[in-house]
Amino acid sequence: MSKRRFEGSGLRIYTVLYLLFLYAPIILLPLFAFNSGTIIAFPLEGFTMKWFDLMIGNATLRQALFNSLTIAVSASILATCLGIFAARASTRFEFPGKAGIMGFIMLPMVLPEIIVAMSLLVVLLGMGVQLSILTVIVGHTLMCMPYAIAVLSTAFGTLDKSLEEAAYDLGETKWSAFRLVTLPLVMPGIISSLLISFTISLDEFIIAFFLAGNQPTLPTYIFSQLRFPKAIPMIMALGTVLVALSIILLALGEYFRRRGNARIGAKPTGGFL
């Protein structure tokens, strides 16, 4: 036993170092956000909140935030609704061409985003559609859908079929059984799908960059500011807020996913994907 533990320790050290590598950029973020120096470099100068004040007072940033929130809320609701259909179909029914159809719907997960963005842009421009946050919502819904389906399929897949059948036997219709039995049971999955889609959309850059026209979103605003050294400390402050926010959202999503698993008696294994 002790020999085994010794063998594991080398791997353990490696894994911890690897996690440090993964977290290195995120650890640096707050350091520079609260640093009073205007240049992003060591040594740090002093503690300040002025970058956060600057961030709060920035009107373009507020507009970008508002746009991003509108897009993320719309896209996450649309992707989750479409995802519910797909997850239900793939976990409960057998139909011809199932693997092909599901594979095709999941394709945006692996397809380079630039291809999706460019082809969509060409079509929209060809049809004479005015680029706006609406076109970004269309694109983001497509990108979020596979992730929503992945999360929702776990929720629907672990569902005990006999619970629904019991509801039918007790005289519920198909729809009322779905609403009264299935929906409450998969609710945690739906909430974590909404949270994950929201996080993805909020952070998505390529599609927003090409499909938003002249409307800023948070990532495109950040990208436009990265060229100006003077703007960087404020972006660091913004990044700190965003990172804190996504960690909170993810922790919430994970909490709901586990609660959902606990409710249907599944083992708390697996992750987001």
Partner 1 sequence: MAKASWDKEARQGLTLISPPFIYALLVLAAPILTILTYSFLTDGYLTVVRDFTWDNYIYAWTDPIVRMVMLRSLAVSALVTLVTVALAFPVAYYVSFMVRPERKSMWLFLITIPFWTSYLIRVFLWKVILGYNGVINSSLTGLGIIDEPLTFILYNVNSIVLTLAHAYAPFAILPIFIALEKIDRSLLEAGRDLGESKAMTFWRVTLPLAMPGVIAATMIVFIPTIGDYVTPELIGGGKIPMIANLIQVQMLALDDRPKGSALAVSAMLIVAVVCLIFLFLNRRFLKVRQ
> What residues from 58 to 117 belong to the interface with partner 1 (CB under 8 A)?
82-83, 85-86, 88-90, 92-96, 98, 101-102, 104-105, 107-108, 110-116
Picking from 76, 209, 92, 219, the residue whose alpha carbon sits closest to that of residue 147 is 76
Q: How far is the CB of 180 from partner 1 (least distance, A)?
A: 19
Taking residue 215's Cβ as centre, other Cβ atoms within 10 Å add up to 20
Does 258 interact with partner 1 (rule: CB under 8 A)? Answer: yes
Q: How far is the CB of 95 from partner 1 (least distance, A)?
A: 3
Does 11 interact with partner 1 (rule: CB under 8 A)? Answer: yes
Does 226 interact with partner 1 (rule: CB under 8 A)? Answer: yes
User: What angle (nearest 5°) sits at the alpha carbon of residue 44, between those of residues 46 and 22?
Assistant: 125
268 burial level (CB within 10 Å; 0-12, 13-18, 19+): exposed
32, two tokens: 């520079």
Among 64, 75, 206, 237, binds partner 1 (CB under 8 A): 206
Task: Please name the amino acid found at residue 126.
Answer: G
Q: How far is the CB of 87 from partner 1 (least distance, A)?
A: 9
* Segment contacting partner 1 by CB under 8 A, of 15-23, 48-56, 59-67, 68-76: 15-23
Q: How far is the CB of 203 from partner 1 (least distance, A)?
A: 5
b/e 12-36 (16+ beta carbons within 10 angstroms → b): eeeeeeeeeeeeeeeeebbebbbbe
Among 28, 77, 134, 264, binds partner 1 (CB under 8 A): 28
Taking residue 241's Cβ as centre, other Cβ atoms within 10 Å add up to 16
Please tell me the distance from the alpha carbon of residue 20 to that of residue 15, in angstroms, as a whole number: 9
166-195 residues near partner 1, rule: CB under 8 A? none
* Segment contacting partner 1 by CB under 8 A, of 27-35, 49-57, 59-67, 161-169: 27-35
* Segment contacting partner 1 by CB under 8 A, of 57-65, 158-166, 180-188, 197-205: 197-205
Which of residues 12 and 50 has its CB atom nearest to partner 1 in the complex? 12
Helix%, strand%, coil% for the chain, nearest 5:
80, 0, 20
Taking residue 106's Cβ as centre, other Cβ atoms within 10 Å add up to 17
* Segment contacting partner 1 by CB under 8 A, of 23-31, 51-59, 159-167, 184-192: 23-31
Does 203 interact with partner 1 (rule: CB under 8 A)? Answer: yes
The number of residues that bind partner 1 (CB under 8 A) is 84
Per-residue string for binding with partner 1, 143-162, x by CB under 8 A? --x---x-------------
Q: How far is the CB of 220 from partner 1 (least distance, A)?
A: 9
Does 269 interact with partner 1 (rule: CB under 8 A)? Answer: yes
Strand partners, 38: none
Enclosing H/E stretch for 73 = helix 59-92
Q: How far is the CB of 38 from partner 1 (least distance, A)?
A: 12
Count of residues for the chain?
273
Contact call for residues 140 and 75 (beta carbons, < 8 A): yes
